[in-house]
Amino acid sequence: MRSLSKTYHPTRLSRVLHRFAPLFNAFRRVWPSFHPKDAMTLPRFNILLGFGAFFLFWFLYFNYRLDQLQLDVPSEQFQPSRLQKRSYEPSKIIIYNRVPKTGSTTFTNAVAYDLCKKNGFHSIHLNMTKNRASMNIIDQRSFIENVTSWTDVSPAFYHGHVAFVDFTKFGYANPIYINMVREPLDRLLSHYYFLRFGDNYRVGLKRSRAGNNETFDECVERGGKDCDMKMMWLQIPYFCGTHSFCTEVGSKAALEQAKINLINHYLLVGHTERLVDFIALLEKVIPGFFHGALEHYNSLDENRAHLRYTKKKIPPSEQTLEKVKANPIYQMEKEFYEFAKNQFEDQWNRVTQKDGTFLLKQFHYEKIRPPLN
């Protein structure tokens, strides 16, 4: 058995000590009288013990610093749920940020709700507190976190009266956005008389203006609140999004942003007058959600196919129409409506024949090299 007091061979040990010179220098700060040559005369056990203590010290120190760094970062960033974001598939999420009084209840109830079980997706209503349409930045983040990590409900169809939320600002790809628009005066008239006479959807519910039989003409003549042209500023903000200028009535920046978002972030925007064609085109471009939608919709009775139809609407007089059409707010909303309508008409004309039937596929593959087996 080798003696513990036996020293290392000087030549061999000197090479080892040279490699660990920086460590010995650090060690000398603790033991000033220590010199590397002393190690050649120390018992092997003491040398090993010294090295062990030295490395243990640095191991504990680095672990302590790592703990301190983790404490400096919000704990939520270390939650395992953050890893679930990797499973987010934008093609399996549809957001229908529905504009009020554009036929959205009919589309949601008679199409999405009826097809969700059959086609294997979840339909989820997004309810905004106090009917606020625009989300603040904290709610945007929370909403996006929910949508991107809630894998139990994917594929999912989200719908609600909410302004456009841009996922790309938070580092995610946008899901599929769809919507519908309506001629702005028709939409306002529908809303005005809906508040007074209700609709065919919830017949027994007493509306906020029930008993008030004032016509739209009379309201305009006296400058009433319900017919104020500011009430018409709605479709532009819904497409504009969450920028501060989006809710500024008459903002040209909001109009332009709404157009940009429609072009860049919406797969399809239909209009109320062409609801059937909107459904037919959705079935073609998003079959996973809307397979069989057109046949289903066409099989519905009149009441189911036209939900929330306002019971009573009195057409405005020519004098009222002239006053409305001269208003800058109407003109901007009308411009946006025509822009959206033209986009849909162009999409429709590109995929259909003169008789309204869809064109066959207009492309094919060839010259595949190397050949497939």
Known catalytic residues are 159, 161
The CA distance from 289 to 155, in Å, is: 8
Nearest to 328 by CA among 230, 238, 227, 256: 230
Cβ–Cβ contacts within 10 Å for residue 75, how many?
8
Strands 176-181 and 266-271 turn out to be parallel
Q: What stretches of the chain show up as alpha helix (H) in DSSP?
A: 10-19, 21-30, 44-72, 104-107, 113-119, 137-149, 184-197, 216-222, 235-240, 252-265, 275-285, 287-290, 293-298, 302-305, 318-325, 328-351
- Which are the contacts of 86, defined by CB distance < 8 A and separation ≥ 6? none
Q: How far apart are the first and last CA of the chain?
A: 71
The CA distance from 292 to 269, in Å, is: 20
Q: Is the dihedral of CA 180, 184, 186, 189 positive or negative?
A: positive
Rounded to the nearest 5 percent, the helix, strand and coil shares of the chain are: 60, 10, 35
HSE of 255 in the Cβ direction (CA atoms, 13 Å)?
17
